[in-house]
Chain A
Amino acid sequence: MTGHRPHGFTVCRKYLSVLLLLTIGLMTRAQDMPLTAIGNVAGVPSELKLSELIAVLKGEKLRWNDGTKVSIYIMKTNTPIGQNTCKKIYDWSGDKVKRYWLELSFSGKADAPTFCNTVEELESYVSQNPGAIGIVDRSSTSAAVKMILIDGKNPF
């Protein structure tokens, strides 16, 4: 009696194990997801160093070299792309990124980014606003959006 477990329990354990492995796999994928930098065709350069991208996304550069205003679009920090952006670009948690921007924008030093719900929404903003830069996980098909090479790579 003691050495045997019911059949239902064994099946349930198998399903749980598979589910756990899938979850871990998805989490690992979210953390390692390659990112793509996209920009509006007006103002935004076609190539940036990673250090320059980080400076731009931290609000340290207010205008591109041609004078176009920089506007930043990133995914909400509770989305997998947003989490990956926080980790890869800022090397901070999502909460710290939001706090950083709240502090910076209300000290009057820079305009806060727009945090988007979907990649489509982000692409739409970037395509409509000269000088806009955004971080997504895929190439864009919009003619008003260009891919930005980061350290010669995209995705990076």
Chain B
Amino acid sequence: MSEKRKIIIFYAIFLGCLCFSHKSFSQRTQIRGFMDLSAGLQNNKVSFTLGEQDLFITSELSDRFSFLGESVFRFTPSTPTTFSVSIERAIVKYNFLGNHNLLIGKHHTPINYWNDTYHHGRAFFPTIYRPLLFEADIIPLHTTGIGLQGQNLGSLKFGYDLMVGNGLGSDDVLDNDKRKSVTAAVHIKPVEGLRIGFSWYNDLMSAGSKTHEGKLISWDVQQNLISPSVAYFGEKIEVLAESTWALNHTDTTGTKQTFAGYLYAGYKIKERLVPYVRFDRLHFQEGEILFDKNNTTSIVGGLRYHINYLTVVKLEYQYERTELERDINKLTFQIAVGF
């Protein structure tokens, strides 16, 4: 099917949906922002760090259509102003039936709890930094494409996501090959605060394309990611355990396996005060060609205090041991706000 024909079909579906969404409606738009600043002590040196500034827009466009946009302004030394703007999410949602939605745009890939729940606003992160699973680019953080989503179905509060999008090596405006990435995720929320999830991601990274970090890939890599996840945020105890088992296959190297995971646990001494720990592990098999093989272990211990629902301070110590670089010992203080 030609690109032109695909675009015509896409717009026909979009306009069709608009026509079925004809009820009178008063538009409601919210604009919010998030920002964080931190100070870190590492190698006997204190550095102050300006974090990301995250701008959110949500808008109810009609009875069934809504929009969510998330743009981030961040320090980028390679640009003339040393700052850049990126669109992290831009989603048009069509609620076609009950708790079932059709989503079109750029999404956080619904691969696990963290990526599906938290956005770039650090005020909601349970720790200062994302788990290493994210930092090491093991999982595709974003997918530009189309998805079906259901949530809170039945007594177990079953939810699902099925997403097709531009795959690995592509960008937000053009896919680099014919293959689309597929994400299938399910979860249940059997009791208050508990969410158990499982996802499968499949894609082909074509020879000649580049990874998110700019590494040129010379072979076709067939990727499967399997990600179980358990999250419990109760009145006193917080537990979040997620892992991804990555299987990267090429005709020359066969299948290489990577395991990446983390376990976070926190205990609310008071409603606003939470000491916490996190253990991260990245393990790559010999001969891995898609990811940078750098086996890593990290331990984080910290204290989080919620001044109010929009202002959070965290003090965190991290020890990280990697295969290729020197050990990291750092102490970080962060203030994250919403406005």
Q: Interface of A with B (CB < 8 Å)? A: 55, 60-63, 69, 93, 95-96, 98-99, 102-103, 105-109, 111-112, 114, 129-130
Contact A111 B60 (CB under 8 A): yes
Q: What are 20 contact pairs spanning A and B, CB under 8 A?
A: A55-B152, A60-B152, A62-B98, A69-B64, A95-B309, A96-B309, A102-B124, A102-B310, A102-B338, A105-B58, A107-B119, A108-B68, A108-B89, A108-B91, A108-B93, A108-B103, A111-B60, A112-B30, A129-B26, A130-B23
One of A55, A102, A111 near B309 (C-beta < 8 A): A102
Cα A60 to Cα B153 with chains together (Å): 9
How many residue pairs link A and B with beta carbons under 8 A? The number is 63
B306 interfacial by beta-carbon distance below 8 Å: yes
Name the B residues within 8 Å of A102 (CB-CB): 32, 124, 309-310, 338
B288 interfacial by beta-carbon distance below 8 Å: no
Question: Would you give the shortest CB distance from A80 to chain B, in whole angstroms?
Answer: 19
Question: Would you give the shortest CB distance from B254 to chain A, in whole angstroms?
Answer: 38
Name the A residues within 8 Å of B121 (CB-CB): 106
> How large, as a class, is the contact surface on chain B?
35 or more
Q: Interface of B with A (CB < 8 Å)? A: 23, 26, 28, 30, 32, 56, 58, 60, 63-64, 66, 68, 70, 89, 91, 93, 95, 97-99, 103, 116-119, 121, 124, 151-152, 157, 271, 306, 308-310, 338
Contact B271 A63 (CB under 8 A): no
Contact A95 B99 (CB under 8 A): no
Contact A107 B309 (CB under 8 A): no
Name the B residues within 8 Å of A107 (CB-CB): 116-119
One of A61, A106, A108 near B99 (C-beta < 8 A): A61
Name the A residues within 8 Å of B118 (CB-CB): 107
Name the B residues within 8 Å of A93 (CB-CB): 271
Given A63-B95, A96-B309, verify A106-B56 contact (CB < 8 Å): yes
Name the B residues within 8 Å of A130 (CB-CB): 23
Name the B residues within 8 Å of A108 (CB-CB): 58, 68, 89, 91, 93, 103
Cα A153 to Cα B21 with chains together (Å): 35
Chain B minimum-CB-distance residue to A128: B26
Given A61-B99, A96-B271, verify A106-B68 contact (CB < 8 Å): yes
Contact A95 B58 (CB under 8 A): no
